[in-house]
A = this chain, B = another copy of it.
C-alpha cells in the first residue's frame, strides 16, 4: 500500500474497520506516514481529504497553494499542520543527513474512508499528470497553447513522486520562516509546534503536550487534537482513559509495552449485538516499538510502559476530541478518590479506609515510576 522508491516512501495504513469492527467509529479516517530522504522533493499534488500532519523527525519546507495564494514555510520536528482538502501541497527535505518523517491523519471529504492523490505536475506516467486525461483539443483551448508544446510538457515519463533536488534548488526553496503565516484565514499561523506549548502534565517521569483548537484554530472544524507523550526512561503513563476521543497513536521513539482493559473482546460482536453488563475484561497487551500504530477507543483504560534505557515517545491523533476528558485511574485526583466512603465500601466490599489508603498511596499524577524502576528501591505503601 502506498509507494516505495529509492528516495523515500509513503505508506497508507489499511482502512481501520478492516482490522476490527471495533474501529467502525473511525472508518472514515485514514492514517499515512511519509518518509523522504535528505535533499529530496515531493511532487505537488492535492487530495480529496482534509489532513493533519505531524512532523515526527527532520527539517523540511512545505508549500501549500490555496485560494490563489502560496504559503511556504519551514517545518521541523514537532510541527502540526492542517491541510484542507483540495490544497495543492509540495515538500522538500532540506536536511543534509536526516530523513524527514511525517505522520498524517486524513479525513476523506467524498467517498468515506477512501482518498486519492491528484498530481498536476507530472508527465505520461510516474506520476501521470491529471492534465493528460483531457483530450488534446481541450487542453489546447484551455491553456491557449499549441499541441506540440503540450506534448512536450505532459508526454514524457517522470522519475517518481519523491525525487532528488539539487543543492541550489533546496537552497532557494528553503528561504522561508518557520511557522509561516496562514494566508487563508487571517492572523493565524500555518503551523504550530507542539513542544512550544505548555505541557498539560509534567513530572520527572514524563511530559504530555497537546495541540487542539484552542492553540491551533485550524483544527476547529475537524474535531481532532494531537498529543505528544514523552515517557522518561523507567517511567510509565496511566492507567487512564479518554472519555470520548478515539486515539490513533504512533510510536516515534523508544520501546516498551502497552496494556488495555477491553470488555470481552472475543465475543464482542456476536450476531445478536448484545450488550452485556458486568461482564469480564480482557487484557490487550502489545509491545511498543518505533513505527507501531495503536488505536485506543474511548472508555478503555490503558497504560504505556518504557522497557529500555531510552525515552518512549508517542504521538497521538485524537478523533472526536472536543470535550474529551483524560480520566486518571491512579495517582493524584484519580476517579476512585472522588467517590464517597459509602460508595467505595459498597463497590469494593471492603472498609472504606482500606480502599482509600490504596487509591491515595500514589502521589504523582499521570506519569509514574514504572514497574522496572520500582523493584530495586522505594517502599510501597
Known: A113-B273, A343-B173, A358-B149. A259 touches B121 (CB 8 A): no
A153 on the B face (CB < 8 A)? yes
Q: How far is the CB of A173 from chain B (nearest CB, A)?
A: 5
Which residues of B have CB within 8 Å of A359? 143
Give 4 closest A-B pairs by Cβ, nearest first: A86-B243, A121-B347, A48-B299, A133-B261
Q: How far is the CB of A260 from chain B (nearest CB, A)?
A: 8
Which residues of B have CB within 8 Å of A63? 339-340, 343
Of B152, B263, B368, the contact of A350 (CB 8 Å cutoff):
B152
Of B3, B47, B236, the contact of A278 (CB 8 Å cutoff):
B3
Of B25, B342, B361, B381, the contact of A173 (CB 8 Å cutoff):
B342
Q: List 16 A-B contacts (CB under 8 A).
A: A14-B272, A43-B347, A63-B340, A84-B244, A84-B323, A88-B335, A120-B347, A135-B371, A138-B303, A141-B370, A142-B331, A145-B361, A150-B358, A153-B355, A165-B346, A172-B340
A70 on the B face (CB < 8 A)? yes
The answer to whether B275 touches A1, judged by C-beta atoms less than 8 angstroms apart, is: yes
Of B90, B150, B246, B297, the contact of A347 (CB 8 Å cutoff):
B90
Partner-contacting stretch, out of A15-23, A52-60, A208-216: A15-23
Q: What's the Cα separation between A329 and B323 when bound, in Å?
A: 40
Of B21, B139, B268, B329, the contact of A120 (CB 8 Å cutoff):
B329
Q: How far is the CB of A269 from chain B (nearest CB, A)?
A: 8
Which residues of B have CB within 8 Å of A310? none
Which residues of B have CB within 8 Å of A131? 239, 261, 301, 329
Q: What's the Cα separation between A46 and B327 when bound, in Å?
A: 11
Known: A111-B24, A152-B350, A263-B118. A361 touches B279 (CB 8 A): no
A125 on the B face (CB < 8 A)? yes
The answer to whether B153 touches A325, judged by C-beta atoms less than 8 angstroms apart, is: no
Of B163, B277, B349, the contact of A3 (CB 8 Å cutoff):
B277
Which residues of B have CB within 8 Å of A194? none
Residues of chain A in range 345-364 having any CB-CB distance to chain B below 8 Å: 345-350, 354-355, 358-359, 361-363
18 new A-B contacts at CB < 8 Å, known A46-B243, A169-B346: A65-B339, A84-B243, A85-B299, A86-B325, A88-B335, A90-B347, A110-B298, A115-B275, A120-B335, A121-B344, A130-B261, A142-B239, A142-B331, A145-B362, A146-B381, A150-B358, A153-B350, A173-B343
A41 on the B face (CB < 8 A)? yes
Q: What's the Cα separation between A141 and B370 when bound, in Å?
A: 6
A38 on the B face (CB < 8 A)? no
A280 on the B face (CB < 8 A)? yes
Of B130, B142, B172, the contact of A368 (CB 8 Å cutoff):
B142
